[in-house]
Structure 1
């Protein structure tokens, strides 16, 4: 079983769509671990604030099949792919890491570049897996967060009730 870290985000009906995404992940992969949920401003376009978190799953699916399954979960939750790359989304699920794989695997670049670029990915990942080492950077996620320019992107923890009672 591979340990996979996923980034989830939404800026359309955020609580509903993140909750539905998490429910779908549990149904598909069983138990998961997750970070706190963070709110941040949209990056790359003007839009409503996002809710973001990182979740860890265990899977036997190869990277390509996992990517297809995650895309299906996004689609089932109203993801529209016809707009610009940086735009509002009901649900976005990205593979951050798949064990310690590096390079392009089944069309997926690993580890995902956003880990080192975006606070809304790195902070929750450093919270969930502080001692795990980034497969390319060679530093723990906590070290990477401690070195991150926190003035570049603002984010803050928010209350998030999942699973819904």
Structure 2
């Protein structure tokens, strides 16, 4: 079983698409480990604020299969096939970690933005703080402690899905 971490983000009908993403991930992978849900300003373009979080799961799927599953979930939730990198998103699912694998295809693993964006690093540090970044060699908790928190402002917001699905 591989331990994987996935970043979820949305700035279009945010609550709905985060819930839909969590439902699809739960249906596909089973038990989810959830970070807090954060609101953050758009990074790289002028747009509405995002909701972001990180989910941890265990899976028997290969890295290629996980990447394909995440794309399928994004497309099922209205993501355009030709979406630009810095643009509004109904649902953005990024595979951050797949065990200690280092890869450039089918996805960049570990994801380069982990230590660059607070909306990725903080939730990852919440649920996988003890894990060590396979390239940097520091645990995510330490990376978050060292992060310049003045770069991006985050606000914790209620995660309604967790309340509706307690005990599952």
Which TM-score tier does this pair reach, normalised by the shorter chain?
over 0.9
Greater percentage in strand: 1
State the distance in 2 between where 1:142 and 1:86 align.
27
Contact 1:4/1:97 (CA < 8 Å) preserved in 2?
yes
- Structure 1 segments of 4+ aligned residues over 2 angstroms from their partners: 81-84
> What are the superposed Cα offsets for residues 17-40 of structure 1, whole Å, 9 maximum, x if unpaired?
000000000101111101000000
> What are the superposed Cα offsets for residues 126-145 of structure 1, whole Å, 9 maximum, x if unpaired?
01111111111111101000
Greater shift in the superposed pair: 81-90 or 122-131: 81-90
Matches within 5 A, 1:1-165: 1-104=1-104, 106-163=105-162, 165=164
Contact 2:8/2:92 (CA < 8 Å) preserved in 1?
yes
- Secondary structure of the corresponding residue to residue 108 of structure 2: strand
RMSD over equivalenced CA pairs, Å: 1.1
> What are the superposed Cα offsets for residues 14-72 of structure 1, whole Å, 9 maximum, x if unpaired?
01000000000010111110100000000000000000000001111111111011000
Contact 2:67/2:106 (CA < 8 Å) preserved in 1?
no
Query: What is the CA distance between 1:110 and its match in structure 2?
Result: 1.0
Contact 1:34/1:128 (CA < 8 Å) preserved in 2?
yes
Between Structure 1 and Structure 2, how many residues are aligned? 164
Contact 1:19/1:163 (CA < 8 Å) preserved in 2?
no
Q: Unaligned 5+ residue runs, structure 1?
A: none
State the distance in 1 between where 2:121 and 2:85 align.
21
State the TM-score, normalizing by the size of structure 1.
0.96
State the distance in 2 between where 1:65 and 1:40 align.
30
